[in-house]
Amino acid sequence: MKSGWFRHERAASCSGFARPLPHQGSLKALATGTKAPFIDAVCGVSFEIRKGETLALVGESGSGKSTIARTIIGLQRAVSGSISFDGQEIEELSGAERKPYLRRIAMMFQDPIGSLSPRLTVRSLLTEPFRIHGLKDRDAGSEAERLLRMVGLPADFVRRYPHQLSGGQARRVGIARALALDPDLIIADEPTAGLDVSVQGEVLNLLARLQDELGMAILIITHNLNVVRHMTDRMAIMYLGRFIEVGSTERIFEHPRHPYTEALLAANPEPDPDAVLNRIELKGEVPSLLRRPSGCEFHTRCRYAQDICHRVFPEPLASPDDTEHSFRCHFPLEGEAVQREQELLFPVEEGI
Ligand SMILES: Nc1ncnc2c1ncn2[C@@H]1O[C@H](COP(=O)(O)OP(=O)(O)OP(=O)(O)O)[C@@H](O)[C@H]1O
Ligand code: SF4
Ligand SMILES: [Mg+2]
């Protein structure tokens, strides 16, 4: 594995990177006399984010994207595996020891208004990170105005409460708050969700401009493949809590190797109204995390599935001409046709 500035190491076993989540409450477990069973929401995932780059996490609802984000910032602890930041292993640190590292990572949560405490003014929201991290020397008033200026909001917004903000304004406040401690990494969970198309563009342009000016890395979680295509350097596609394809965004859009990626890209709305869409319909429901399918977990919906796919879990493979492009499939796509010649491929030791 390459030395990464920010890195997740895959857990040795596949039992997980993120702590398995109880799928029933402990009260119910107590009442029924059962032990609360757990699900592996994220499993066997390994990746790095390089300084200043933008990495996208893509996948259907419930595939584990936000779980990864929450685990990075310590809202959930990983059951196994490791998370390192700028060379320091942070997963094993106590809460207080983690604080200096977490200060360098900022999170924009999925719900722009809901993630802002309704009782706090914008000024308090923007300066809360200083209080949490004990930076008492900062002048709250001028810091709040500076941050509002950075995201293009008027200074008098400091007196507003979240319910007085539109979705786009709340998102800008969320970005301003994320910038408060001058982070090296911003995790943006669905930064455009719930916003009008024109406001989505404004928010994305703002994020891109700030990244140019400040040089932070961005981990962007989104369903919007047009955002992925235009904003990110690399992308990872998730299915049932695993990475099934990882690589440069340009390459994956041009040449997806995993059938699930192919279907996702084919379903993406094309900005050109005259473009001919070759939609690939994904049949079947997303399987339950409680009953993961045997073999390749995508076989229940894959139009290329063969007998081996039902039985054998595919190990990661990489393209011979681009070892950063890896995928988990016994029969990765080769151009228009399905390539079934395994000798053209070689196994990847790490990275998916
Ligand atoms: N606290 C929890 N208790 C039980 N299951 C949970 C909990 N949080 C998440 N899950 C489950 O873990 C899986 C991954 O959830 P996660 O929120 O990471 O998905 P996601 O990819 O971010 O989805 P979305 O695109 O809808 O935001 C889902 O099946 C979800 O139902
Ligand atoms: S391993 Fe088989 S079922 Fe899985 S994605 Fe590849 S072709 Fe489809
Ligand atoms: Mg989510």
pLDDT tens across 166-204, in order? 999 999 999 999 999 999 999 999 998 888 888 888 899
pTM of the shown model: 0.85
CB-based burial label for 270 (10 Å; 0-12, 13-18, 19+)? exposed
Say which residue the tokens 């950063």 belong to. Answer: 324
Q: How do residues 214-248 score in pLDDT, each as one tens digit?
A: 999 999 999 889 889 989 999 999 999 999 999 99
Angle at 78 between CA 76 and CA 81, to 5 degrees: 160
Taking the centre of ligand 1 as the mean of its atom positions, its distance from the CA of residue 72, in whole angstroms, is: 15
Cα–ligand 2 centroid distance for 56 (angstroms)? 23
Would the CB of 348 count as within 6 Å of ligand 1? no
**Which residue, judged by its Cα, is nearest atom 3 of ligand 2?**
299
Closest residue (by CA) to atom 27 of ligand 1? 61
The partner residues of 47 in beta bridges, in order of sequence, read: 8
User: 249 C-alpha vs ligand 2 centroid, how far in Å?
Assistant: 21
DSSP code of 75?
Answer: S
**pLDDT tops 60 at residue 154:** yes
Residue nearest atom 29 in ligand 1 by C-alpha distance: 62
Over range 18-33, report the average pLDDT: 58
Which residue has the CA at smallest separation from atom 5 of ligand 2? Answer: 329
Mean pLDDT computed over every residue of the chain: 84
Q: How far apart are CA 151 and CA 265, in angstroms?
A: 32
59 Cβ below 6 A of ligand 1: yes
From-to residues of CATH 3.40.50.300 in the chain: 50-238
What confidence score (pLDDT) does residue 17 get? 45
Separation CA 144–CA 8 (nearest Å): 33
At the topology level of CATH, where does 50-238 sit? Rossmann fold (3.40.50)
Mean pLDDT to the nearest integer, 331-342: 61
Is the model's pLDDT at 11 over the cut of 50? no
Distance, CA of 305 to CA of 206 (rounded, Å):
43
Per-residue pLDDT band for 274 (boundaries 50, 70, 90) equals low
Q: How many angstroms separate the alpha carbon of residue 115 from the centre of ligand 3?
A: 13
